[in-house]
Amino acid sequence: MDSEPATDWTLDPQLEHDTIFVCDLPLCQVRLMNDANYPWLLLVPRRAKASEITDLSEADQAQLMREVAQSVRALKSETVCLKINVAAIGNVVAQLHVHVVARFRNDPAWPKPVWGHLPARAYEDTARQNLVAAMRTRLTIAPA
Amino acid sequence: MDSEPATDWTLDPQLEHDTIFVCDLPLCQVRLMNDANYPWLLLVPRRAKASEITDLSEADQAQLMREVAQSVRALKSETVCLKINVAAIGNVVAQLHVHVVARFRNDPAWPKPVWGHLPARAYEDTARQNLVAAMRTRLTIAPA
């Protein structure tokens, strides 16, 4: 899975600022958006200079889909949400990153997309630690 | 590619109303959003009852990624856009559909996402026919 060198990849500073490390999958670093409004993962392929999905090799594109599907299942199992939103937008931060967001009928943006709707509301320490630990377990101990 | 029966798939009426047929790829029906604000494709996997990406088989998930990448390349080549936005949201229309949107620094929503920003502005006949024909050619004659 790690067919291309990842040594010159570094996380975009804005993404680092907005998120918390969860775990490394074979291709992507998984992070939790520090926004208690919605359970929200970010998948960042560890490939330097990738901005569009098509900047990845075909093998990496296939692996990205597997890791997206794995993250969808993990987030859906953990949150028992109504719907998952998946998106690669990147108009503001160019570094390729995929949003995986758990949505609920009573969340503050429903049924609109979450982007640009509300300012992020930082998690309290315990809630953040618990969700990161739960996602890490679901993504690394039981990835299927 | 067509390992599952597609006979009981029908396009969601709302998606049909908002879009124009472009072509059928092995998994997805490709349609153009009838919104001249942004060149905007919709990929709809012809699989009954699929709502989340994870409702597709692993083979279909891999094929979806290939068709998304093919559509990104085709739309980017045709429009010479700055960025492509890719998203599976589905909060309003449950039938699984993937947005592939060409974005420009001077488009009416930039740098925000396009969803819910402006009402759709229908294409004029000639512009619509030309874009559909161009996308059909790029997606079916030269898919690579």
**Structural domain contains residue A56:** yes
**Structural domain contains residue A74:** yes
Q: How high is the pLDDT of residue B117?
A: 83
**Structural domain contains residue A115:** no
CA–CA min distance B46, chain A (Å): 18
Cβ proximity of A108 and A118 under 8 Å: yes
How do A40-45 and B40-45 pair as beta strands?
unpaired
**Structural domain contains residue A112:** no
Share of chain A above pLDDT 70, in %: 93
Report, as an integer, the average pLDDT of A126-134.
Answer: 98
Neighbour-count burial of A103, counting CB atoms closer than 10 A to its CB (0-12 exposed, 13-18 middle, 19+ buried): buried
Task: Determine the Cα–Cα distance for residues A114 and A101; give it in Å rounded to an integer.
Answer: 8
- Please answer yes or no on whether B86 and A53 come within 8 Å at the CB atom: yes
Cα separation of the two ends of chain A: 16
**Structural domain contains residue A14:** yes
CA distances from A24 to A18, A27, A86, A89, B129 (A): 17, 8, 19, 21, 46
Q: Give the domain extent around A103.
A: 6-107+120-140
Query: Which segment of A83-92, A123-132, B27-36, B110-119 scores lowest on mean pLDDT?
Result: B110-119
- Please answer yes or no on whether B85 and A83 come within 8 Å at the CB atom: no
Q: How high is the pLDDT of residue B143?
A: 46
CA–CA min distance B63, chain A (Å): 9
Q: What is the pLDDT of residues A39-56, one digit of tens each?
A: 999 999 999 999 999 999
Q: How high is the pLDDT of residue B54?
A: 98
pLDDT above 70: residue A143: no
Report, as an integer, the average pLDDT of A17-22.
Answer: 98
Q: What is the CATH number of the domain that holds A58?
A: 3.30.428.10
- Please answer yes or no on whether A92 and B103 come within 8 Å at the CB atom: no
| Closest Cβ–Cβ partner in B52, B64, B65 for A84 | B52
**Structural domain contains residue A1:** no
Tell me what ipTM this predicted complex has. 0.93
CA–CA min distance B79, chain A (Å): 15
- Please answer yes or no on whether A85 and B88 come within 8 Å at the CB atom: yes
Cα separation of the two ends of chain B: 17
- For chains A and B, what is the number of CB pairs under 8 angstroms? 96
**Cβ neighbours of B121 (radius 10 Å):** 12
Number of domain units in chain B: 1
Taking an 8 Å Cβ-Cβ cutoff, which residues of chain B contact chain A?
Answer: 51-54, 58, 61-62, 64-66, 68-69, 72-73, 76, 83-92, 103, 110-113, 115-116
Q: How high is the pLDDT of residue A12?
A: 98
Along the 144 residues of chain B, how does pLDDT read in single tens digits? 445 555 699 999 999 999 999 999 999 999 999 999 999 999 999 999 999 999 999 999 999 999 999 999 999 999 999 999 999 999 999 999 999 999 999 999 999 999 988 899 999 999 999 999 999 999 997 544
Report, as an integer, the average pLDDT of A59-80.
Answer: 98
| Closest Cβ–Cβ partner in A76, A86, A116 for B87 | A86
**Structural domain contains residue B67:** yes
Residues in chain B closer than 8 A to A54 (CB atoms) = 69, 72-73, 76
**Structural domain contains residue B114:** no
Minimal-distance CA residue of chain B relative to A91: B111
